[in-house]
Amino acid sequence: MIENKHGKVLVFDSGMGGLTVAREIQALAPALSVDYAADSGFFPYGDKSDDALRERLPYIAKKLVDAARPDVFVIACNTASTLALDDVRAVLDIPVVGTVPAIKPAAALTRTGVIGLLATPGTVRRAYTAQLIEDFASEVRVILHGSVELVRMAEQTASGEAISMDAFRMAQAPLFEAEGGDDIDTIVLACTHFPLIRGELAATVPHAVTFVDSGEAIARQTLRVLPDQSGTAGRGGQVWLSSSPARQKRLVEVCRRFGFTDVRELTEE
């Protein structure tokens, strides 16, 4: 834990997934002021076209930073970061931290040499993801599976809706049914929504595996790039939505449970 870090961080995702990153940042540096933003008007990102996201992300990032005025902007979303990290950096004049699949640590961890990667369809098809695999896991077999259904199941579970264990089993079955799937011993949770259902995923794999995510690494990187002159910046707890909070009752309630209680709507002109 790093007690003496002050400043204001805005953690951003399409929906609830980035809350899993926000909590890692808060655990590492409790004195930081952490606010949250969800692009609820454009959720989910996982099945959107690259063109649509490339247009959306710099636009929404700039609007959010103008409104919330953080010292650091954290894109707590693999689908967005693997596509448009540079585009977002180009429109902001503060440090931007991205989230990319934890392929490197997973490759170091596997004993069988077979890794599974669970993500959105967008993250699975990205050149960025292929490059990470080439750079850090060229000696390892990586089996990828993209699912928007799992993103929705994560939001439903976080909201307290009951989902059958069979649904979790089926949603990750394609990983284990692929060639080599029997030997998977490590799974990369390459979508920030998935730590919300880590327990359900762990309970429904056909054999024991270790789940790896990027949350703690992002928290450490956020502190690394925090400008030195960042001062005490309040207690945080704001949550910015890009659609009417009245129509986002589940999201508002889950954000509240994570400590983001001061709900604001980002108005679009």
Which residue numbers are catalytic?
Answer: 77, 191
- What SS3 string covers 91-116? HCCCCEECCCCCHHHHHHHCCCCEEE
- Spatial distance between the Cα atoms of 170 and 163, rounded to a whole number of angstroms: 12
- Spatial distance between the Cα atoms of 170 and 184, rounded to a whole number of angstroms: 16
- Spatial distance between the Cα atoms of 92 and 3, rounded to a whole number of angstroms: 28
Q: Is the distance from CB of 73 to CB of 92 less than 8 angstroms?
A: yes
Query: Interface with ligand DGL includes 213 (CB under 6 A)?
Result: no
Q: Which of 102, 105, 147 shows the shortest CA–CA distance to 129?
A: 102
Structure-token pair, residue 20: 């899993």
By C-beta, is 7 or 193 nearer to ligand DGL? 193
By C-beta, is 5 or 89 nearer to ligand DGL? 89
Show contacts with ligand DGL in window 23-82 (CB under 6 A): 43-46, 77-79
Query: Among 7, 10, 13, 196, which residue interacts with ligand DGL (rule: CB under 6 A)?
Result: 13
**Count residues contacting ligand DGL (CB under 6 A)?**
18
Q: Is the distance from CB of 234 to CB of 32 less than 8 angstroms?
A: no
Strands (E), 64-217: 72-75, 96-97, 114-119, 141-146, 186-189, 210-212
Show contacts with ligand DGL in window 133-172 (CB under 6 A): 148, 151
Show contacts with ligand DGL in window 192-211 (CB under 6 A): 192-193
Structure-token pair, residue 49: 């076209």
Taking the complex as a whole, the smallest distance from the CB of residue 43 to ligand DGL amounts, in Å, to 5
By C-beta, is 5 or 125 nearer to ligand DGL? 125
Taking the complex as a whole, the smallest distance from the CB of residue 21 to ligand DGL amounts, in Å, to 9
- Spatial distance between the Cα atoms of 114 and 175, rounded to a whole number of angstroms: 11
Query: Among 8, 9, 12, 15, which residue interacts with ligand DGL (rule: CB under 6 A)?
Result: 15
Interface region with ligand DGL, contact rule CB under 6 A, candidates 156-164, 170-178, 190-198, 217-225: 190-198
Query: Among 17, 98, 181, 195, which residue interacts with ligand DGL (rule: CB under 6 A)?
Result: 17
Please give the angle made by the CA atoms of 188, 57 and 263, to the nearest 5 degrees.
90
Q: Is the distance from CB of 259 to CB of 33 less than 8 angstroms?
A: no
Taking the complex as a whole, the smallest distance from the CB of residue 80 to ligand DGL amounts, in Å, to 7
Taking the complex as a whole, the smallest distance from the CB of residue 1 to ligand DGL amounts, in Å, to 25
Q: Kindly list the residues in this chain that would bind ligand DGL in the complex (CB under 6 A).
A: 13-15, 17, 43-46, 77-79, 120, 123, 148, 151, 191-193
